[in-house]
Structure 1
Amino acid sequence: MSLTSDDAQLARLGYKQEFKRHFTPLEVFGLSFSIIGIFPSIASVLVYALPNGGPVALVWGWAVCSVFLMFITMALAELGSAAPTSGGLYYWTHKFAPERCKNLLAWICAYSNTIGNIASVASVDWGCALQLMAAVSIGTDMAFVPTTGQTFGLYAALLCCHGVVASMATKVLARMQKVCIALNVLLCLAIIIAVPAATPTEFKNTARYAFGGFANLYGWPNGFAFILSFLAPLWTIGAFDSSVHISEEATNANIAVPWAMMGACAIAGVLGWGINVALAFCMGTDIAGIMSNPIGQPMATILFNSLGKKGTLAVWSIVVFVQFTMGADMATTCSRQIFAFSRDGGLPLSRYLYRMNRHTHTPVNCVWFACAVALLLGLLAFAGPLAIGAIFTLVVTGQYVAYSIPIACRFLGGAPWAPGPFSLVRLGLPVALAALAWMAFSIAILVFPTTPAPTAADMNYTVVVMGGWLLLCVAYYYLPRYGGVHWFVGPVANVVVPAASDAASETEKDAADRYGETFERG
């Protein structure tokens, strides 16, 4: 049977076609754009921007971050165009890293990518749970104040719902994306237009305040407080690799993937800036009051002040629904990355995770594995009201470690560089250097605690969680006899293209014996 161009390209990368290619280029963009989920994401992390700069953080912090985030996106887009496979980051690492360290670097990259993606699922669903609880509080005129246990229970229910959705057939998931695009764009435009039009005079701010007002509620020096506010745009405009992980379900993947990444980042940057400017003009000046309001969500409080109870509930219902679709799409892309790493034997339960459901042709086991680990991360909420913030910073730090490794390895003298249809040509190195510098800077600032003198309740647990995860994955790699150093060889081909080889290599035969897989021969 003849292969399509996408299937042939995947075969040249070493893998047989196991997914159904139902995602069109527009739908690949839709998934990336949906996962960013501009307004719901801003609503989820506004709690980190307002007390660390107020209007200045909203407007100028967002603008600064958006520029540098495009450098990261372009560097990854170039790699995604050259080798579009669900493994993505660790596949590129192993291909381009120096021979002596490629296995270890690919291992660290894959585990960082895994925890970053799972933390993304956890943070999106936790944000959705908080938004639903805020809606109940508004609907009951603040008579209902949710407990941590109630919020966690709702969070667990959302994870189960997203597990079901992400397990559906690829065709169903693909068709959802057009609706997601429309809802996200319309919601952003509605906020930018409706909130300024409806806001009472007492909550409207002058241009001087909107573009230059500063608030600092946590005690850091003003300059550093402004930098700490970067968590909001860094978390909102992220998951650049989401389109890469569904590349084996996409048509024209080497073109669709890079343009989906860059298009989603650029549009999110522009629309997000417009939303933040609208908020800066319409939120009043009592930022401490917004943060301490019984509603429990700063964004919901701002909307309540501008639109009233009924208007807020109407808008908030759409916000919650869009956030729900974000969680479903994030669970989908997370499961594909786990499937790809399991295909190469990298995870402890690879034998069970590397299975395709015969009815939906999707990796259902990987979906539920991601949801189960995300549920465990949610237990951080019981450590204190600010401890759950670790899953938001864990998203950024985990992903940035995973992004940095292949971007750097691209220039370290591994396999010769063969660009895809999208190439930065001579700009590749300066763009990569800018991206690497920004990610190193971001990781450094995101491990700082909320206040200069933290207690156990308001400590930033990102160092503990991310550091512990990296230590465990390295310890597992070097574990005597059973560690990855004894058997992990990076990406393992499960199909051989005739032009490349007449027979499977010994490595491939070993892998076939290890996982009980029958390799396709050309």
Structure 2
Amino acid sequence: MATRAPATSKLHLQHSEDEATLAKLGYKQELCREFTPLEVFALAFSYTGLLPGVASTLFYSIPNGGPVAMVWGWAIACPFIMCICLALSELASAAPTSGGLYYWTYSLASPRCRNFLSWIVGYANTIENITGVASINWACAIQITAAIGIASNESYVTTNEQLYGIYAALVLSQAVLVSLGTKVLARLQKPYMLVNLCLCLLVIIALPIATPHEYRNTAIFALGNFTNLDGWPSGFAFTLSLMAPLYTTGGYDASVHMSEEASNAAVAIPWAITGSIAMAAVLGFGINITIAFCMGTDLVGILSSPIGQPMAQILYNSLGQRMALGIWCLIISAMYMGASNGLLVGSRQTFAFARDGAIPFSRYLYRINGYTKTPVNTVWFDAACTLAIGLLAFVSTQAINAVFTIAISASYVSFITPIATRFAFKNNFKPGPFHLGKLSFPIAAIAVSGMVFMIIVFFFPSTPKTTAQEMNYTVVVLGGYMFLAVSWYYFPVYGGVHWFEGPISNVTSGIAGENGDGGEDSMKEKKEQREAEFYVSVADV
């Protein structure tokens, strides 16, 4: 006991400092700080779901450049991705709160437009997290049917009804899991990370060893072959292939939304963001090189495989039925873990947004379960929205595929705004422990300009000759959602323009605590108790 006392005292001191930092940002500590820095890093890395992500996005890279797009597209995209992560990390260190992006936007923007910008970012961030969970689970459902295809020697054909049934079962089981206490969820992160890490190393090591000679490619093919199957000009086709690494490593803000449950959040969160993406960049490059050398030269055959998944067919060709099925089941498990963490971080963002009264049913969503001490209501709210989004599969394949790119484009809207407002408006931004110094502006400029360009790219269809049925519905679905968000803000009498004033301090007024109070008193008193600016530096605590 004597040896543990100092560590315990240090932990309590750190939690006290974290609570003081949160109070300076305007919020009372309501969630349990059970995530260690390593567990926050593990959450960020497992949410990336590196190998499952690579497996799910070969449909983007193989037809739009083949091996060149897979290998060199990844290498080109990663520095740009790291610029986004560095810019977000600097903001996360300065103001570590679960609200994250919309909070930063409000704090840094001009008083004339900060309410509106904060509203837009909050809603974009909400749909990003929900569609992120939807896209991972839909991909996971497809991977499960691919596993059945491997087990049945490529004879199984699925239907949309069966896919949706699997999808719904995944979402509901994850909602049950994420409803558990913070300590349980925190302890799961290390095993999640270990599974993902071992899976990546297993494929990098085992695939070259086991691949038969007829499927082994030369360095000239693996590193220099450019195959364009969809018909776009080669340069634009290569640009479209960048969707693969951008989607695979997406969700850079995942750890941000765990800020109020993490120990030493001002340091742990930014390092989780940058560290997890750095590891994913290195391992992802290794995975793509391995696949390029071991997938054979029949790219059309891989894409049109009866199994329905290029990666599954590659594993089947190289490893045989049993080993391929074993690794594929691990890929499915890793994808399930990533989706669970997606629902976890999304529920925390929804909780923070409801805490500030910005979304419908806020009084019910801003509640903490008295038993688990977690926001169970927002978990099931996000799960219900995820189930509803899955119904797009019955509209068309293109409509459900739009969910994949919506998750990225919506996230870019919510990333661009706070990064840009920091430099576009006069504000009193003060960096936290993690800061970039003179590199802040050039890194932010690269991140913002790149994201603006890629948002436009995400709206293009997969082929230049398309029909109404085959078009890319990303712009329609995302545009429709954002139109509703703006309409709700400017709606006569009841719209957000009449009552939304950004983040609400609950330090000195009623909060949603153990008694389940919805925080209505806090919302009513906000105009009287809050001044416009409350952006503070962690260094001031």
CA offsets 1:244-278 (integer angstroms, 9 cap, x no match) = 10010000000000000000111100100000000
The separation in 2 between residues aligned to 1:379 and 1:397, in whole angstroms, is 20
Alpha-carbon shift at residue 385 of structure 1 (Å): 2.8
Letter in 2 for 1:224: F
Matched residue type, 2:85:
T
Aligned residue runs from structure 1 range 58-457, under 5 A:
58-457=70-469
Q: Is the 8 A contact 1:477 1:485 kept in 2?
A: yes
In the TM superposition, residue 231 of structure 1 has moved relative to its aligned partner by 1.0
Residues 16-41 of structure 1 deviation map (CA, whole Å, 9 limit, x = unaligned): 11100000000000110010011011
Letter in 2 for 1:259: W
In structure 1, distance between residues paired with 2:470 and 2:167: 21
SS in 1 for 2:47: helix
List runs of 5+ in structure 1 lacking aligned partners. 498-506, 515-522
Aligned-residue offset at 1:321: 0.7
SS in 2 for 1:98: coil
Give the letter aligned to residue 326 of structure 1. G
Stretch of structure 1 that moved more, 133-142 or 380-389:
380-389
2:6 aligns with none
Other structure's SS at 2:397 match: coil
Paired AA for residue 380 in structure 1: L
Q: 2:504 aligns with which of 479, 483, 492?
A: 492
- Structure 1's 365 and 508: CA in aligned 2 closer, same or farther, altered over 3 A? closer
| Most deviating of 386-395 and 35-44 | 386-395
Identity of aligned residues (%): 53
Partner of 1:55: 67
Contact map agreement 2:131 2:386 (CA 8 A) in 1:
yes
Q: Distance in 2 between matches of 1:494 and 1:246?
A: 19
Over residues 267-306 of structure 1, what are the superposed CA-to-partner deviations in whole Å (9 max), with x where a residue is unaligned?
Answer: 1001000000000000011111111111011110100000
Letter matched to residue 433 of structure 2: P
Instruction: For 1:463, give the aligned amino acid.
Output: V
The separation in 2 between residues aligned to 1:387 and 1:203, in whole angstroms, is 35
Query: Residues 363 and 520 of structure 2 are in contact (CA less than 8 Å); yes or no, is this contact kept in structure 1?
Result: no
The number of aligned residues is 505
Shift of 1:192: 0.6
**Residues 494 and 508 of structure 1 are in contact (CA less than 8 Å); yes or no, is this contact kept in structure 2?**
no
Q: Structure 2: where are the runs of 5+ without partners?
A: 1-11, 510-518, 527-541
Q: Distance in 1 between matches of 2:522 and 2:271?
A: 38
Letter in 1 for 2:329: S
In structure 2, do the counterparts of structure 1 residues 337 and 226 end up closer, same or farther at CA, with 3 Å as the change threshold? same
Helix, strand or coil: the match of 2:472?
A: coil
Kept in 1: contact 2:93–2:266 (CA 8 A): yes
Deviations 1:143-166 (A, max 9, x none): 221111101110011000111111
Question: RMSD value over aligned CA atoms?
Answer: 1.6
- 1:520 matched residue in structure 2: none
Change (3 A) 1:343 1:510: closer
**Are 1:6 and 2:13 matched, yes or no?**
no
Query: 2:516 is matched with which residue?
Result: none
Q: Is the 8 A contact 2:136 2:338 kept in 1?
A: yes
State TM-score, norm by structure 1: 0.95
CA drift of 1:360 comes to: 0.7
* SS at 1:99 equivalent: coil
User: Residue in 1 aligned with 2:523?
Assistant: 511
Work out the CA distance in 2 between the residues paired with 1:287 and 1:354.
50
Q: Which SS does the other structure have where 2:113 is aligned?
A: helix
Runs of 4+ in 1 over 4 A off after TM superposition: 507-510
- Could you tell me whether the CA contact under 8 Å between 1:53 and 1:215 is conserved in 2? yes
Q: How far, CA to CA, are the matches of 2:462 and 2:470 in structure 1?
A: 7
